[in-house]
Amino acid sequence: MQTTPATSDADLQADNLRRAAIDKSVKGPVLFLFTNGAFWLMLSTLLGVLAAIKLVEPTFLAGCPYISYGRLQPAHINALVYGWGLQAALGVMLWIMARRSGQELRTGKSLMLVAGVFWNITITFGVLAILMGKSTSIEWLEMPKFVWPVLLGCFLCYAWPIARMFGRAFRPEGFMVSTWYILAACFWFTWIFITANVALHCLPSLGALGAGIDAWYIHGVILLFFVPVGVGAAYYFIPKITGKPIASAQLASAGFWTLAILGGWTGMQKYMGGPLPAWMSAVGACTGVLLLIPVGLVGLNHHLTTLGKHSAVATSPTLRFVFFGALFYPVSGLILALNSAFWTGAGLQFTQSWYSFQMVSVYGFFSMCVFGAIYYIVPRLSGCEWLSVRLIRNHFWFSVYGVGTIVIMSLVAGWQQGADLNNPEHWDQNFMNHVINSRPYVVSRAVAWALISFSNFMFLIHLLLMVAGLGRRSSAPTLLYSEHDDHASPAHA
């Protein structure tokens, strides 16, 4: 997957210059997206703490009607998905695509910056509107109606140049896995986003079918946007840092196409047993389980690629984040399968396991991969190295333990809620047992989000310092568990 190592020094020099020119051309938009994304991530995690507290103790800050759970939770999710997730994803996509296709970003840079500014202004209005009581209550599309055309336009300002770069590049025949995932993510997101918004905002009324389309949209954004970007980044960085090619091109290709074929079918099993025609949720449930195939193929491939290189996981911050992110991918597939199969899904339906799935895919898998990518990309754009090993290490451990806690606790809480709901002893009783039994899990969720907020605060400060050009002046990258050795040659440029 890598470019062939240059043999002579002159070639190496030319190669480095070419990479530097590419980095310079995308510097503005990428750093803009990362910093703004990090601010939204910070906000989203704080809203997550608050929402969890309000779910246990609704009298907390009861005087303020803007922050009831019903408004906080959508604000928290929307800030995470559109504020952080999409922005960070676009930054990573743009950089990887530029590097992989060997193309400088020639035109459209100012348009990208303008689109980025508009994106952030629109999300700000959208999230404020949810808190002020203008929510649409359509899950993941709670922001008011006016938001989506702006977001779509801004997204295309990035997606189109990314696709153009791919088109202009010299393309040897064969499968170029990371760029294909990224190109497909641009393609899928546009399609899914337009479909869901037209159906839910423009068509007259879709009743229960609208709810099904919304569930399809959520699964689509996760499986056909966040997952491809995360997997694409993992396929790019793992070989890059371990110095080994991807273990199997066939596995990579099979993993991609099974995801492409299955991804669009799943989602409506969220309302299994509901008013939708039964075949819709049955198809969704079936593909939800079958998606274990692409998950397994990608997981196996990553495992084979990192085999024997685990020491690099200990030293390289990028590889460590990406490696653990890639580990969360099979976990997310497993939770999706548990939620989807009628056997287990009937118990987990309408419980916190739904939140568990969203968090393991958006935070555990996607965000961890993107953190890794950011730790790699930013030094190359800002011209300085990360300041502090301790900050990176803390960010890593708090994130891993935090998101692990949220995912496990929400899943167990979902099992508990399902068991309570279907407990015959509760038939003629009120919801007291359900509410009280699920409290401890929500408390742990609040604590975990607080830890994550703390780690994100460190990440944000660190990133801001880097973007301001106040990083370490050195030619050696910041590695964990090793003294900074300025004589060591950079392992990877």
Q: Which of 4, 8, 107, 205 binds other proteins (CB under 8 A)?
A: 205
Return all residues near 122 (Cβ < 8 A) that are at least 6 apart: 147, 150, 151, 154
The residue (of 35 and 73) whose beta carbon lies closer to other proteins is 73
CB of 454 to other proteins, least distance (A): 26
The residue (of 216 and 398) whose beta carbon lies closer to other proteins is 216
Give the binding range for other proteins (CB under 8 A) out of 20-28, 57-65, 230-238, 361-369. Answer: 57-65
Determine contact, residues 95/60, Cβ cutoff 8 Å: no
What distance in Å separates the CA atoms of residue 445 and residue 75, rounded to the nearest whole number?
Answer: 17
Q: How far apart, in Å, do the first and last CA atoms of the chain sit?
A: 15
CB of 33 to other proteins, least distance (A): 24
Contacts of other proteins in 321-380 (CB under 8 A):
342, 346, 349-352, 354-355
Q: Which of 208, 307, 464, 488 binds other proteins (CB under 8 A)?
A: 208
One character per residue 257-296, x = contact with other proteins (rule: CB under 8 A): x--xx-xxx-xx--xxxxxxx--x--x-------------
Give the binding range for other proteins (CB under 8 A) out of 39-47, 129-137, 387-395, 470-478. Answer: 129-137
Written as six digits, the tokens of 88 are: 């960070």
CB of 64 to other proteins, least distance (A): 9
CB of 219 to other proteins, least distance (A): 11
- Burial label, 5 (beta-carbon count in 10 A; 0-12, 13-18, 19+): exposed
What distance in Å separates the CA atoms of residue 1 and residue 15, rounded to the nearest whole number?
Answer: 16
Written as six digits, the tokens of 68 are: 């009831």
- Triad 109, 146, 28: Cα angle to 5°: 15
E strand or H helix that includes residue 456: helix 432-467
How many residues make up the chain in this entry? 493
Closest CA to 376 of 96, 74, 100: 96
Contacts of other proteins in 218-237 (CB under 8 A):
224
One character per residue 411-450, x = contact with other proteins (rule: CB under 8 A): ------x---xx-x-xxxxxxx-xxx-xx-----------
Q: Which of 6, 14, 203, 468 binds other proteins (CB under 8 A)?
A: 203
Determine contact, residues 33/91, Cβ cutoff 8 Å: yes
Q: Which amino acid is at 447?
A: V
Please tell me whether residue 250 binds other proteins under the rule CB under 8 A: no
CB of 27 to other proteins, least distance (A): 28
CB of 26 to other proteins, least distance (A): 22
Contacts of other proteins in 153-172 (CB under 8 A):
166-167, 171
What is the three-class DSSP state of 472? strand
What is the three-class DSSP state of 385? strand
CB of 242 to other proteins, least distance (A): 26
Q: Which of 30, 211, 295, 319 binds other proteins (CB under 8 A)?
A: 211
Closest CA to 445 of 142, 108, 171, 50: 50
The residue (of 5 and 174) whose beta carbon lies closer to other proteins is 174
Return all residues near 420 (Cβ < 8 A) that are at least 6 apart: 426, 433, 434, 437, 438
Contacts of other proteins in 75-114 (CB under 8 A):
none
Please tell me whether residue 144 binds other proteins under the rule CB under 8 A: no
Please tell me whether residue 69 binds other proteins under the rule CB under 8 A: yes
Return all residues near 364 (Cβ < 8 A) that are at least 6 apart: 325, 328, 331, 332, 403, 404, 407
Please tell me whether residue 479 binds other proteins under the rule CB under 8 A: no
